[in-house]
A = this chain, B = another copy of it.
């Protein structure tokens, strides 16, 4: 059995709590939050507290808190030589106070509080300074059915940037297509199957091979037609830049 003390009450903390609770090999012995009212609905199933000095002994302390709080909260923990990890995509392992054994347990996924999350589909990026601690994080990831990846702090920083491209920027492209359909009295609905198929395709095919459309074909005539039709200057700038990016990737002359 792996005993866990969970700190924080955001999306990641809440999803981790629910997942740990369903596992046979993990027990959440305590749940801490600065504002206890945010977690008090769970008080019948787990010990909740807002007092760092009342924390139990556990195998792992998971700081599922904001990046800025990692340093101060880890410093304020009234013990040392215990295993303390954070769940951030950007914070360094070294943001955790050096009196602890330190690690990172970063689930690479987009969390919204309402939506149910299937952790078996969530890659867990793990990092630890000691071998035994690393093994424990591996066991923790496996206990909730996740695939674990050894990712260093430097790699994780780049991975977080990649996630911004894969998630936030992709979503903004969806938003732009929403704007285009609305501006032309069409339903956004019509694009949803294409969006889903595009994401499914690269599950088994590299994005390089999966590419289609005027830019990869070098079809400058269609590209020109499109640029003439796009009125929104920001849409036009994005069209140009991403078209050039595709042209460059596929060894064609840029616009």
Q: Say whether A110 contacts B201, CB under 8 Å.
A: yes
Q: Mask for A27-38, Cβ within 8 A of B = 1, else 0?
A: 000000000000
Q: Say whether A159 contacts B190, CB under 8 Å.
A: yes
Interface residues on A, range: 35 or more
**A residues 170-205 touching B (CB-CB < 8 Å):** 170-178, 180-181, 183-203
Measured CA separation A108–B212 after assembly (Å): 13
Known contacts A109-B197, A123-B190, A195-B166; is-contact A207 B249 (Cβ 8 Å)? no
Q: Say whether A245 contacts B238, CB under 8 Å.
A: yes
Q: Say whether A165 contacts B193, CB under 8 Å.
A: no
Measured CA separation A210–B158 after assembly (Å): 23
Q: Tell me which residues across on chain B come within 8 A of A200, comparing CB atoms.
A: 196, 199
Of B162, B192, B211, the residue contacting A171 (CB under 8 A) is: B211
Of B177, B196, B241, the residue contacting A237 (CB under 8 A) is: B241
Q: Tell me which residues across on chain B come within 8 A of A51, comparing CB atoms.
A: none
Shortest distance between the CB of A228 and any CB in chain B (Å): 10
Known contacts A155-B185, A184-B158, A207-B174; is-contact A242 B110 (Cβ 8 Å)? no
A16 within 8 A of B: no
Measured CA separation A162–B198 after assembly (Å): 13
Q: Say whether B198 contacts A108, CB under 8 Å.
A: no
| Given A110-B198, A163-B194, A178-B208, 11 further pairs, Cβ under 8 A | A109-B194, A109-B197, A110-B194, A121-B193, A149-B190, A151-B186, A159-B181, A161-B226, A166-B174, A166-B177, A178-B207
